[in-house]
Structure 1
Amino acid sequence: MTKKRKREQPSDNTRLVGIYEDLANENEEVRLEAAHNLLSRFSPESSPTGEEVFKILKRLIRGLCSGRKAARLGFSVALTELLIQLLGPTKRNVPNLDLSISKLIGLLKEQTRIEGSVSGQEERDHHFGRLFGLEALIKSGILFKSGKSTDWDIVLDLIFELAKKKPWLREECGWIIYGAIQNLHEQGLDPSYVQAIIDRINSHGLAKTSEGIAIWIAVQSYFPAVDLPAGIWKHEDPLSIKEKSNLAKVLKEASFADKDKGNAEGNIPQKGSWNFKIHFAWPVVLAALLKDQGKSGQVHTNPPKRLDLKDFWNEAVDNSLFAASSSEVRKYWGLLLFEQMFGGIPEHLISILFSKNLMRCLMNHLTLPDRYLHRVALKVLKAIHARVVTEPQAITAAISGLLGPNGHVNFDHVTKTKTVEKLLSQIDAQTLRTVLPLFERLILMPQAGDETGAASRRQILADQLLSLIRSRQIDNISKAPLSEYNACIEQLLAFFVDVAYFSPRLAAEPPVSKASQDVFRSRISSSLTHLVAKVEDPAQFPYYVAMIIHKREKENVDSQPLFDADENVRKTVARAWKTLDKLHLKAGKPQSSRQNLLRAFKLLYSLTILQTYNGDSDAVTILDELRSCYDSLVKHRENDKQGGPEILVEILLSLVSKPSLLFRRLAQQVFGAFAPRVNATGLQSMVAVLETKENISGQEEMFEQEDAGQDDEAMSDVEEIDMAENNSNDTSIHNKDSSNGATDLSNEKEDEENEGSDGDADELAAFDAKLAQALGTRRADEDVAAEDDESSDVDMDDAQMEALDEHLEKVFRERKKVTSKKKERRNAKETVVNFKCRVLELLDVYIKQQHAQALCLDLIMPLLQLIRTTGNKQVSEKATALIREYFRLCKGQSLPVDAGRETLLELLTLVHSEAGKEGSNAHAYACSQASLLLAKVLAAQNKDNLRAVIALYAGTQEMLLFDSKCKVKPSFFSDWLNWCVTSRLQLQS
C-alpha cells in the first residue's frame, strides 16, 4: 500500500517571491498588505540576519527599476518603511548589518547604474529606479537625523544631475524637491537644507523653469529667511507683475532665454515629449495668487507689485495657452486648468476664469463630437455643473461667464448642449434673486453690434427666463415659504413689465425696440399661462402684473409709459382699475361665500386690462361688458341678474376664439367658477358654435365680416391645431361590430380629401386650357395631328408680344386668385374647428360640475349631431369623450332626476332617431351612451319608466328591420342588453 506524500511547507524564499509579486500589484490594498508582510520579517521575533536584510534591500532597489505593473509604487513604499526601521529614530539593531546612509546611497547608485549597451526603455527604467530610490531616502527622514548636510548634498546632486541630463525626468525631480521642502517645513528642520536646494537650482540654471518657479514659491512661503539669489527675478519674485510675460513663457514650457544674462539658463534642454497632465507648478502658482487675493477679492499690498489672479490668468492662460498659434495640447492644459480651478476657486473670483480665448476654444470644441478636445470640453461643463449642484450660489457667476461678453447669450444652441438649462434647473429661491439682476443687465446691455443683433439677443434671454418659469425647479421653489416663492416670480414679472410697457428705468443700449417690447409682452402672457395653473388663486400673478403697470403709471418718475390711447379708452381703463381694486379687497376676505366668483372676475379683469395695454381693441369693449356683468352678478342680489350670465358667456366665447393658450386657460378658470350660474340662454350660445358649418360661411356667421380678414397677433403661447392629428387619449371608441361596413371618420376625411384632389385637378386643367389658348398652342394630351399643317415658326412682332404678355399676366392673376381662395377655405375651416374645440373644453368643465342638473341634458343632442356632421376627427373625439364622461359621472345621487318624465322620453326618442342616421362608429357609440344615460335617469325616477324605454328600443329595432333608411348599428342594441343584465339585480331590489 502506497503512502501519501507529506505536503511540503513553502520555504522562506517562496514566501518572499510571493511578497515581491504582490508589491507590483496594481491594487493599492494588495501592495500595502505585501509591504506590511515584508516588514514583519524584521520584527525581533523573526530574528533577521544582516545578510538577509541586505539581500532584501538590494532586491527592493532593483525592483524600483522595474516597469512592470505598479512595481515602482509598491517597492518604493516598502523601501521607505524599511529604511525608517533600519536607520530611523527608533532603528532596530540587526546582527552583522553594517549599514550607513553613505553606504546606502552607494548601494542605490550601484544597483541603478547602467552598464553596457541597453535599450532605451531599460535606460529609462534605471533612471526612474534611481529617482524613486532617492525619493524613498528623503521621505524616510534619515538624511536629516544627524543634522549633517553631507549626505543631503549628495542626494541633491544626484537629483539635479538627473533633472539636467534627462529633461523628461525634470518634472518628477522638481516634484520630489518640492515635496521635500514641505516635509522640512512640517518637521521644523534647519533652513540650511533648503538653502542647499536654492543654491543648486541657481547653479544648474533651473530657476527659470516650471519646476524652479514652484520650488522658489515654496521657499518663499515656508522659509522666508532663506537667501534667494538676486538678478534672476524682479524683486526676487517670479510672481512680480514685471515678470508677467516671462512667467507665462516658462509655464507654457516655450523656449526661453534671458537675453540680459549669459548664464546657463538659456541652454536648458527642453522636454522632448508632451505630457497630458498639468505641470504641478500651475496649481502652486495659482494657489499662491489665490492666497494673495484673499477673501475680499482685493490684492494684498504685501509683497508689493505682485500679480493678481486676473492678470496672471489673462496672460499665462488666455493669451498663452489659448493663443491662436497654440497647439491642441496646450489648449488641453488650459481646459484642465479651468476644470481644476472651477472646483475650488472662491465664488467672487469665478468670473476671471471665463476669459475670451478660453471661451472661444471651449465653444468651438463643444460644437462637434469629432473635435480633438471635445471630451475634455465636456468635462469642463461637468465640473461647472458639479460645483453648482453642491453650491447653488455659484450659479450666478457660472451663467454670467457662459452668457456674458466672452460667452454667448445662446450658449446652449451654439454648443448643442443643455448647459445653461441644467444650471437653471438647479436654482433655488435665494439664488434666483441674484440671477435675475444678471439677466436684467444682459437684456439692457446685450453687447450687440446693431439694433437687430440686440433684439435677437434680448429675445433669447427672454426665452431663457421663460424656460426658468416653466422648469420643474420653479415647482420645487413653490415648496419653499410662499412669500419667498412669490417674491422670486414677482421680481421676474416686474422686470418683464418694465421692458414691455415702459421705457426701462435703467438705461438700455441700444434702446429697446418696438419688436422687443412685443416679445416681452408675449413672454408675460406665456409666463402667466404657466403660472395660472400652478397656484391656488389663478388671479394672483395676473393681478400682480396688472398692478405693477398701474403702480408704474402712477409713479411716472423713472419710467415713461408706452400706453397711448384716447380719452374714452382711458376712462374705461380707469373705471376698470377701480373695479379691480374692489374685487381684490372682496376676494381677500376669508370664508367668502362668493370667493370663487370674485377670483374669477379678478382674473378676467386683470388679463383684459393687460390686453388693453397690449393694444387689443376688443379688450376695451370687453371691459365695458365686464362692468355690466360685475354690476349684475357681484353688486346685486342673486335674483337680480339683468342678463349678466349671457354677457359673460359671450365674453368667454370671444376670448376662446383667439389663438392664445392663455385665453383658453383663462376661460376655463373663469367658466369653472361661473358654471353654476350659466342659464339656458348662455348654454345655447355655446351650442350655436357647435352647429356652425366648418367653412367660410360658418366663419362669417361666427365672426363679424370686418374681423374675418384680420391676422391675429403672433404670440408665443398660440396653440396650433394639427388637422390631421389623431389624439388617441381623448376617446376610445366602444365598437363590438366593426365589420358592418359603416363609414367611419377616417373615410369621411379621405372622401373630403379626394373631393379636394378632384377639384384641384379640374382647376389645373382649366388653367392649362387658358394658358394654351393664350400661347396659341395645344395641350400635350390633345390630338396634335393638325400641327403638321400649321407653321410653328411664325414670328411675332412687338405689338403681338405685348398683347401676349398682357394675356399671360391675366391668366396667372386668375390662377393666383383660385389658389388664394383655396387657402382662405382651408384657414376658415381651421378657425371654426379650433373654436369648436375650445367650446367643447368649456362644456367639459360645465359637465363635470353640473352633470346632476337637468339643464345639462340640453347638450346631448347638439353633441350627437356634431359627432355625425363634423369633418374633423379631433372635434368628433372631443365630443364623444364628453358624452362618455357625462355617462360616467351620472350615477347614484349625481343623476339629473329633477328633469320631467315626458321631457326625458322625448329626448330619448330624439336620441334613437339620431342613432338611426348614417354615421361613424364614434357616432353610434355616443348615441348608445346617451340612450343608456337617459334610461338611467328614468329608472332613477321610477323603475316603471323602463317599460317605455323598452318599448322605444323595440320600436327602433323594428325600424331597423323594415325601414331601409334606418342605419342603427348592432352595438346600439348589444349595449342596451348588457346594461339590462348588469342593472337587473339593482332594479329588482
Structure 2
Amino acid sequence: MVGIDKTTPESSVIKEVLPSPKLMDIIPRALDVDRGILDLFTVLAVASKENRIVAVGDLIGKLKEKQDGTSGPCQEVLYSLKRLIKGLSSPRKLVRVGYPLALCQILRQFSIIEGSDVLQMIEEYLDLSKAESSSEKSNMEIGIALAYSAVIQSDILLKDQTTILPLLQQLMSFKSDKSYVQHIWHQCLPLLIQKMVTHSGFETDIWPVLQKDLSLGWSDVTPERLQVLLICKQHLPDKIDKTFLKKNWSNKKIIGEKTYKQLLSVLQDSTRGHPIIHNVNKLLLQELPVELVGDFWREIGEILFHGELSKRRLGMFLLSELIKKPLNIEQLDMLLSKHICEMVFTDLKFTNKEQPSAQMVLDSLASLLDSSKDDHLHSAVVKCFTKSLDAEKNQTMELHTVLSAIIPHLTVKAAEELSQEIMNLIEGRQFYGSTFTSLSVRQWSINQLSLFFSHSAGQEDFRQCQASLLQYLFRHAFFVLSKSSSEIPHCHSEPVSFGEKLQKTCNLAFVKNFLKIITMKSDKNKKAYITKTVQQLFSYVESLVSNSDVVKPLKELNEETLQALHQIKQMLSQMHSIKTDQSESKNIYAFEILLTYLALQVFCDPQNCLDVIQDSLSCCEKSVKKRVKSSEDEPDWLDVLLDVLIAMMTHPSKLSRAIATSIFSAISDHITPLSLGLLTEILMKKTTDVANDEDFMFGDEEEGESEEEDVEMSEKGADDDEDEEEEEEDDDDDDEEEEEEDEDKDGNAAEANMEVDEDFRQKVKNALGDAADNTDDSEEELSDLSDSEMSKYDAALAAAFRSRNRTEIKKASNDKKQQLITLKIRLLDFIEVLIKQNHKAEIVTLLFRPLLELRDSSERNRIEMTLGEKAIRLYRQLYKTKVSPDTYSQITKEDLLDLMTHLIEFSRKAPSVGLIVDVSDGIYFLSKLLLNINSQSKKPETEKKIHKGLLEIFQPSLKGFLDNQGYQNFFCFYQNLIVKLPLKAARLLCCMVDKNMHQKLSAKQWKTFVTTTVPVIIKVLESSSAKPKFLDQVMCLFRNILTIDKGDNLQVIPTSVVPTLQTLKKSGPRSQHKTCNSLLQLLQRQGLQMKTPDVADTSSTTPQ
C-alpha cells in the first residue's frame, strides 16, 4: 500500500508534531511508586480474565486517588503509562491481553493525558533501532501495534487532531516480513477509520490520504487496500459510489463478472498469513449478494480447492461462511458437490488436528441446521455427504465425523430417513443409490446408529426413532429370522446373510445405546422418556418371543425361562395400572428398569438370571402391594433388592453396573442405617479376610473389559481393510469352514490349558534325581521302582507338590483380594449417590468411618491406591453436604461426640499429613452439625456447655501432642481447625483459661503464658481488621486472664490499651459495651502500673 514516500523515516512525521522529550525526565522509578499499584501489574500479566478486569478497575481507582487535585498527570499515572507501553513488547501471552486493556482504560479515564505525549512514549520505549535481534524487533513491532490499537480505541485522538495524520501514515506505510506481525498491524487501520469516520478530522486528515491510495484501483492491489475499500464502502457510501468504482476499479460493483479474476488474485495473496484468515475475506463475503453465490463459487471458491494447503484452508473458510447465507437447496448442492465433500473428508483425515479447516464447515452446517427446520434442506445436507462415500478410499471414519456433527441437529423426519438408509446399508441394500456388501462397512454402519442416541431427547417423535433403533439392534443381536413378516417391525427379508460377527456387533451396539438411555439424568421429563422407551422395548421383545415361527432366539429358551418372562410381563402390567404418589413412583420406576433389564438378560444368560428374576419379582410385589406403611422404618423388600444390586455390581458388563446404580439412585430415599450396613460391611472388609473365603468370587473382569474395548475398537477401526475373509459370507460352505476354524481354535485353547508347568516339572525331576526319565522317547519301557526306592522319593515329591499348591493358593488369594478391591470401587458409586441425594443426618454421619478407613488402608497398601483416591474424593464431598434440618432428630449429641472422639483417635494413627487434615475437616463439619442440632433441640444447652463438651474430647489428644507422645504430625490437625475456626478456637481458649488451669500450672508456666499471650491480645485489640465476634472472644479471654492473674504478671500492658478499649466501646456493637466496661473497671480496680512494653522482649517468645 502506498501512503507516504518510502524514503521518509517512519518516525520523522511524528517527530515534527511531538514536543521535546522532557516528559521522560519526570517519570518516577518503580521504587518511588506505591507498592499496591506495582502489584496490580503482576496481576495483569498472569491472572485470569475475571481477575484482570478487577485489577484494571483497582488500578484506575488508585490512580484517581493519586491524581486528585493535581494539575498535570501525576507521577503514578506517568509511571503506569511507561510500564504498560514498555511491557507491550513482552512475549508473554497474557501481557498482550492485560496491558492493552489497562492502557486503553487509563487513556479513556484520564482526559488530562495528551495524545502527543502517548505517541512520544511509544516512540521512545518501543524504538525498533534498539532491538538486538530479529525476535526482539518482532516483539517490539507487535507492541507498537497493540499500543496504537489502545490509543485508537481510547478516543484520545478525538481531542488532539494533530496526531491523527502521523498515526495514519505510520499504519499505511508499515511493512514486515512476519505475517503474524503484519496481521496485528492491519487491524489498526480499519479500526481507525471506523472510529474517526463521523469526526470532523476525518474529512481533513484521513480521507485525502485514503482517497489517494484507493484511486490506484487494481494496480498492484493488496488485500489491505481492498479491505480499506470495503470498509469505506460500508461507512462512506456517498464517497465510494458507482462513479468512483467505475473510474478507479473498472466496474460499478466490487464483485462482478469483470472482477472475479482480480478478486481471486487478491484472495490468494491474502493466504500469506496462513493459517490466519485475512479480514478482507470476511468483508468481501459481506458484500456478496445471494444471487451471485453460484458465480462467485465457480470462479473463485472451487479454484482455491485445487491449490496448496493455505489456499484450501481459505476455500474451507469461504465455504463455511457461504453456508450461513440463506441459500436454496440447488445452491447448497452446488457448494457441497462430490468433489468438495471428498476434499472435506481428505482434510479431516490428513490435516493437523489442532487446526482442521473442515471443522469450520461442520460448525457452519450445525448452525445452518439449527436455524432451519426445513426437512428437505436437512435431507439435502445429509445426501451431499453420504453420496460421496467411497469405501475403497477408506472414508468411513471421516463420514463418521461428519455424521456425528450433523445428526444431533437434524429434524425428526431427516433423522428417520438417514437411520433407514443406514439400516439398508447394514442389511446389504442400497445406501443412497450405492450398494456396499463389505463386512467392515456393514459393521461400521451398525456403530453409526449410536449417533442417533446423542440427539436431543426433548421430542416425542425422536423418542420413537430411538426406540425403533433399539428394537432393530435387539432383534439382530439375539434373534434369527425364519420367515419374513410385515406385522413385526424389522422382520423383513434380508438380501445378504447376517453372520455371527454382525450379530456380535449389534449386541455390543445395543448394550451401549441402551446404557445411554438408562443413564440419562433422571429429572421428571427424562424419567418419563426412559420409561416409555423401556416399555416399548419390552413390548417388542414380547412380540418376538410370541412369534416363534417368524424369529428364533440364538439361545434356546426353555419353559422355565418363558414362565419367568411371563411373570415379568404381569408384574409390569400391574405396576402400570397403579396410581402412585411421588415417593412410590420412584420405586416403580426402579423396578421397571430392573425387570426390563433382567428380561433382556434372559437372552444372554438364561440359566444364571432365573434366581435373580424370582428375587426381584418378590421384592417388587412386596413394594407394590404395600399400600399401608408398616411400623418398621425399612421396607421389608429393601434388603433383598440390595443383595440383587450388589450382585449386579460384580457383573463384568458395564450396562449391568450402570442399571444397578440407576436403580439404587431411585430407592436412595429408603436407605436406612440397617440397609446401609450391607454396603459398609463390604467396604470395611479387610482384604486379608477373603483369602480363605471360597464363596467370595465373581465374574471375570477381563471379559467385561474386552467387551468394552470391542465397542470402542469397532467404532474406530471399522474403516480398516479386512481383506477377502470378511467380505463374503453368503455360502454355506463358508459357514462350515468358520465353524471348523472355531473348533480348531477351541482345541488349541484346550491343549494350551493342559500344558505342563515347566517350573513344577523341573522340581519333580530334581526330587526324583537319577530315577527321573530324561528321555523324550515315550515308547521306551523303564524298569519299575521297588517299594524302598519309592519311599525314598516320597518326601521330596511331597515337598514339590506342596510348593506348587502354595503357589496356586497364593495366586487365588491375590485374585480374591483384587476382586474385593474392584467390588469396593464399584460400591462407592452407591455411596456417591447417597452423598448427592440422601442428606439425612444419620446416613451422613455413618459414612465418615468407612471412607476414612478405605483411604487409610490404601496408604498402607499400594494395590488399593485407586480405591483410596475415590474414597477420599467422596469423603471431601461428604463434609461439604448440607444435612437436612428435618433429620436432626435422627442423631443425638452423644453420638456426634463419640464419632468425633473416634476420628480424633483415628487421626493420631493416620500415616500421612494429608489424611490428618482431611480428618480435621471432618471434625469441623461435625462441630457445625453439633451446634445446629443443639439449636433446634427441644431443650438446647448453653453454648458454653457445648464448647466444654467439645473441649473434653480434644483435651486428651492435645495433651498427648504437647507432651510429644507419638503425635508427630498432629500440629496440622489443630492448625487446620484454627485457620477455619478462629472464632471457635478463641471460644475454646476462653473455656480453657480458668481457675482450674491456673492451679495446675506452676508460677513460671503461668507467667510464660501471660507474658506471651497478652501482647498478642493487645495487638488484636489495636487492629482494625478483626471481626466483631472474634474481637469479642479475645476480650473475654483478656478478662479471664485479668481476673485470674490479679495483676501479678501484667506490668507489660501498654498505657495505650485504655484509649483503645474506650474507642472500641464507642464504635463497637452493643454487645461489646459490657465487655469493654468490665475490662476498664478491672484495670482501674487493680491499679496496675502502665508502661510501654519492650517490643524486642515481647516478640521473642511464641505463644504456646
What TM-score results when the alignment is normalised by the length of structure 2? 0.46
CA separation of 1:635 and 1:599: change in aligned 2, threshold 3 A? same
Distance in 1, Cα, partners of 2:216 & 2:701? 89
Distance in 2, Cα, partners of 1:886 & 1:548? 43
Distance in 1, Cα, partners of 2:926 & 2:566? 50
Contact 1:908 1:931 in 2 (8 A): yes
Contact 2:683 2:854 in 1 (8 A): yes
SS at 2:954 equivalent: helix
Q: Does 1:672 align with 2:658?
A: no
CA separation of 1:802 and 1:518: change in aligned 2, threshold 3 A? same
SS at 1:847 equivalent: helix
Q: Does 1:603 align with 2:593?
A: yes
Match of 1:632 among 622, 629, 632: 622
The equivalent of 1:684 in structure 2 is 677
The alpha-carbon deviation at position 973 of structure 1 amounts to 2.1
The equivalent of 1:885 in structure 2 is 877
Q: Does 1:854 align with 2:811?
A: no
SS at 1:510 equivalent: coil
CA separation of 1:718 and 1:684: change in aligned 2, threshold 3 A? farther
Q: In the alignment, residue 576 of structure 1 is paired with which amino acid?
A: I
Contact 1:852 1:890 in 2 (8 A): no
Contact 1:645 1:682 in 2 (8 A): yes
Contact 1:500 1:520 in 2 (8 A): yes
Distance in 2, Cα, partners of 1:644 & 1:608? 18
The equivalent of 2:30 in structure 1 is none
Match of 2:505 among 503, 519, 524: 519
Structure 2 counterparts to residues 406-555 of structure 1, below 5 A? 407-408=390-391, 413-415=396-398, 418-445=401-428, 454-470=438-454, 474-475=455-456, 478=458, 482-502=459-479, 503=481, 504-532=490-518, 533-534=520-521, 535-537=526-528, 538-555=530-547
CA separation of 1:868 and 1:967: change in aligned 2, threshold 3 A? farther
Distance in 1, Cα, partners of 2:254 & 2:952? 102
Structure 2 counterparts to residues 148-297 of structure 1, below 5 A? none
Match of 1:567 among 550, 559, 566: 559
Q: Deviations over 1:606-652 (max 9, x none)?
A: 22222222326443222111122123322134327784211111111
Q: In the alignment, residue 474 of structure 2 is paired with which amino acid?
A: V
Distance in 1, Cα, partners of 2:429 & 2:422? 10
Q: In the alignment, residue 449 of structure 2 is paired with which amino acid?
A: L
Contact 2:896 2:926 in 1 (8 A): yes
CA separation of 1:31 and 1:887: change in aligned 2, threshold 3 A? closer
Distance in 2, Cα, partners of 1:351 & 1:441? 27
Contact 2:668 2:834 in 1 (8 A): yes
Distance in 2, Cα, partners of 1:512 & 1:630? 38
The alpha-carbon deviation at position 573 of structure 1 amounts to 2.0
Q: In the alignment, residue 443 of structure 2 is paired with which amino acid?
A: Q
Q: In the alignment, residue 596 of structure 1 is paired with which amino acid?
A: K
The equivalent of 2:830 in structure 1 is 842
Structure 2 counterparts to residues 252-401 of structure 1, below 5 A? 367-368=349-350, 393-396=376-379, 399=382
The alpha-carbon deviation at position 959 of structure 1 amounts to 2.9
SS at 1:874 equivalent: helix
SS at 1:526 equivalent: helix
Contact 1:833 1:875 in 2 (8 A): yes
Q: Does 1:951 align with 2:952?
A: yes
Which stretches in structure 2 are left out of the alignment for 5+ residues? 1-211, 259-294, 482-489, 713-757, 767-772, 779-800, 935-940, 988-1028, 1034-1070, 1072-1104
Q: Deviations over 1:479-516 (max 9, x none)?
A: xxx42232232232232233223335122343223332
The equivalent of 2:972 in structure 1 is 971
Distance in 2, Cα, partners of 1:414 & 1:815? 53
Q: In the alignment, residue 859 of structure 1 is paired with which amino acid?
A: L
SS at 1:461 equivalent: helix
Distance in 2, Cα, partners of 1:884 & 1:327? 57
Distance in 2, Cα, partners of 1:958 & 1:834? 41
Matched pairs, number: 610
The equivalent of 1:746 in structure 2 is none
CA separation of 1:347 and 1:547: change in aligned 2, threshold 3 A? farther
Contact 2:424 2:430 in 1 (8 A): no
Distance in 2, Cα, partners of 1:979 & 1:512? 66
Distance in 2, Cα, partners of 1:37 & 1:453? 63
The alpha-carbon deviation at position 540 of structure 1 amounts to 3.8
Contact 1:23 1:74 in 2 (8 A): no
SS at 1:393 equivalent: helix
Contact 1:867 1:922 in 2 (8 A): no
The alpha-carbon deviation at position 544 of structure 1 amounts to 2.9
The equivalent of 1:912 in structure 2 is 904
Contact 1:569 1:620 in 2 (8 A): yes
Distance in 2, Cα, partners of 1:825 & 1:351? 68
The alpha-carbon deviation at position 948 of structure 1 amounts to 3.0
The alpha-carbon deviation at position 863 of structure 1 amounts to 2.1
The CA RMSD over aligned residues, in Å, is 5.8
The equivalent of 1:655 in structure 2 is 648
CA separation of 1:918 and 1:457: change in aligned 2, threshold 3 A? same
CA separation of 1:663 and 1:570: change in aligned 2, threshold 3 A? same
SS at 1:638 equivalent: coil
Q: In the alignment, residue 516 of structure 1 is paired with which amino acid?
A: L
Distance in 2, Cα, partners of 1:673 & 1:661? 19
Q: In the alignment, residue 908 of structure 1 is paired with which amino acid?
A: M
Distance in 2, Cα, partners of 1:76 & 1:633? 75
Distance in 1, Cα, partners of 2:673 & 2:360? 66
The equivalent of 1:863 in structure 2 is 851
SS at 2:885 equivalent: coil
Contact 2:673 2:843 in 1 (8 A): yes
Which stretches in structure 1 are left out of the alignment for 5+ residues? 1-16, 40-59, 64-68, 80-274, 284-325, 721-765, 775-797, 804-812
Distance in 2, Cα, partners of 1:410 & 1:982? 72
The equivalent of 1:874 in structure 2 is 866
The equivalent of 1:723 in structure 2 is none
Distance in 1, Cα, partners of 2:913 & 2:408? 46
Structure 2 counterparts to residues 556-955 of structure 1, below 5 A? 558-562=550-554, 564-586=556-578, 589=579, 591-615=581-605, 617-636=607-626, 637-639=628-630, 643-694=636-687, 698=690, 701=693, 704-705=696-697, 707=699, 711-712=703-704, 714-716=706-708, 831-870=819-858, 871=861, 872-890=864-882, 893=885, 896-939=888-931, 940-941=933-934, 942=941, 943=943, 944-955=945-956
The equivalent of 1:758 in structure 2 is none
The alpha-carbon deviation at position 520 of structure 1 amounts to 2.1
Distance in 2, Cα, partners of 1:717 & 1:545? 26
CA separation of 1:70 and 1:635: change in aligned 2, threshold 3 A? same
**Identity among equivalent pairs (%):** 16
What TM-score results when the alignment is normalised by the length of structure 1? 0.51
Contact 2:601 2:609 in 1 (8 A): yes
CA separation of 1:960 and 1:540: change in aligned 2, threshold 3 A? farther
Q: In the alignment, residue 620 of structure 2 is paired with which amino acid?
A: Y
Contact 1:938 1:946 in 2 (8 A): no
The alpha-carbon deviation at position 580 of structure 1 amounts to 1.5
Contact 1:840 1:879 in 2 (8 A): yes
The equivalent of 1:304 in structure 2 is none
Contact 2:425 2:436 in 1 (8 A): no
SS at 1:888 equivalent: coil
Deviates more, 1:898-907 or 1:867-876: 898-907
The alpha-carbon deviation at position 662 of structure 1 amounts to 3.3
Q: In the alignment, residue 971 of structure 2 is paired with which amino acid?
A: P
Contact 2:375 2:413 in 1 (8 A): no
